[in-house]
């Protein structure tokens, strides 16, 4: 009924609010998409890729099952990374529109791109847990963009949403410009698991909008693993991986 009603009102909505590309503002056919040029501006990670972190190798890279140099030097604590796109100018505009422009209607489209890169859930299902915001940041912004993406992934059948699976108990400054050790010190004790009994023995999908240095997600993964999580796969819309852009489709 809701879907039928929405379809009936769509022409009126389009008349009052003409569909425009959320990245560049150009007119498009319907709401919830991008113009052709901006679709081209998205960089989708390709195969083959690192068996541990899914870093794209490119056509001339190692074969299946190989690990990238960073993972061999420091094996990750997570169990894989599923990134919808690599971080480009287009994906940056979409993230900023969602996070700071309050364009929360973008969440379904961004979540669909993440879902396309997710591994199949094993039997028993998985919990979908967003990277948390501190309560002051949440009050200031009014929403958690990671939770919006997690909700959409849950709605599309990717797992069971557990929006309060993690809690940020310490307000932390921006991590930009800090080294790895400094980031670890700042995040020490900042992330907790309020209900470890819900986490123990479960496969977890940890959701965020952008994966940059990985410091925050690593803190989240460690907290989930301490609580007994069976596995933790990181799912994000955009992954900062400049050296891999030349291998993206």
CA distance 57 to 78: 19
* pLDDT value of residue 4: 47
Range with lowest mean pLDDT among 59-73, 104-118, 195-209: 59-73
Q: Within its chain, how far is the Cα of 190 from the centroid?
A: 20
Question: What pLDDT score was predicted for residue 189?
Answer: 85
Distance CA 32, CA 30 (A): 7
Give pLDDT, residue 193.
97
Give the whole-angstrom CA distance, residue 67 versus residue 51. Answer: 5
**Gap between the Cα atoms of 159 and 96, Å rounded:** 26
Burial of 63 (0-12, 13-18, 19+ CB in 10 A): exposed
CA distance linking residue 17 with residue 140, whole number of Å: 28
Question: What integer pLDDT is reported at residue 176 of this predicted model?
Answer: 67
157-181: average pLDDT? 86
Q: What is the pLDDT of residues 26-47, one digit of tens each?
A: 787 676 678 888 889 999 998 8
Res. 236: pLDDT tops 90: yes
The structural domains of the chain, ordered by start, are: 1-41 (no CATH), 43-247 (3.40.50.2020)
CB atoms within 10 A of CB 76: 18
The H or E element spanning position 231 is strand 231-239
Section 126-144 average pLDDT: 93
CA separation, residue 248 to residues 51, 84, 201 (Å): 17, 11, 35
- The model's confidence at residue 9, banded by pLDDT at 50, 70 and 90, is very low
pLDDT number for residue 19 = 78
| Pairwise pLDDT comparison (241 vs 63), residue with the higher score | 241
The predicted-structure confidence for 81-129, as pLDDT tens digits, reads as follows 999 999 999 999 999 999 988 889 999 999 999 999 998 877 668 999 9
DSSP string for residues in 180-230: HHHHHHHHTTTEE-S-HHHHTT-EEEEEEEEESSSHHHHHHHHHHHHTT-S
């Amino acid at each position: 009924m809701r879907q039928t009603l929405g379809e009936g009102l769509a022409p009126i909505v389009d008349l009052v609010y003409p569909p425009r590309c959320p990245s560049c503002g150009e007119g498009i056919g319907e709401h919830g998409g991008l113009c052709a040029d901006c679709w081209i501006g998205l960089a989708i990670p390709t195969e083959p890729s690192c068996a541990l972190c899914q870093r794209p190798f490119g056509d001339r890279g190692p074969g299946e099952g190989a690990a990238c140099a960073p993972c061999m030097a420091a094996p990750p604590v997570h169990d894989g990374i599923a990134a919808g796109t690599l971080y480009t100018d287009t994906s940056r505009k979409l993230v900023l529109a969602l996070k700071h422009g309050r364009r929360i209607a973008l969440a379904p489209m961004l979540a669909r791109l993440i879902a396309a890169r997710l591994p199949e859930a094993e039997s028993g299902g998985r919990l979908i847990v967003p990277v948390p915001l501190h309560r002051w940041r949440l009050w200031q912004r009014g929403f958690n963009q990671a939770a919006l993406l997690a909700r959409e992934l849950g709605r599309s059948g990717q797992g069971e949403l557990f929006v309060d699976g993690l809690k940020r108990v310490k307000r932390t400054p921006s991590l930009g410009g800090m080294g790895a050790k400094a980031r670890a010190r700042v995040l020490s004790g900042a992330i907790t698991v309020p209900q470890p009994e819900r986490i123990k023995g479960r496969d977890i999908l940890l959701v965020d909008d952008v994966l940059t240095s990985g410091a925050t997600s690593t803190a989240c993964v460690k907290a989930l693993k301490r609580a007994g999580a069976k596995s933790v796969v990181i799912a994000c819309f955009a992954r900062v991986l400049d050296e891999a852009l030349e291998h993206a489709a």
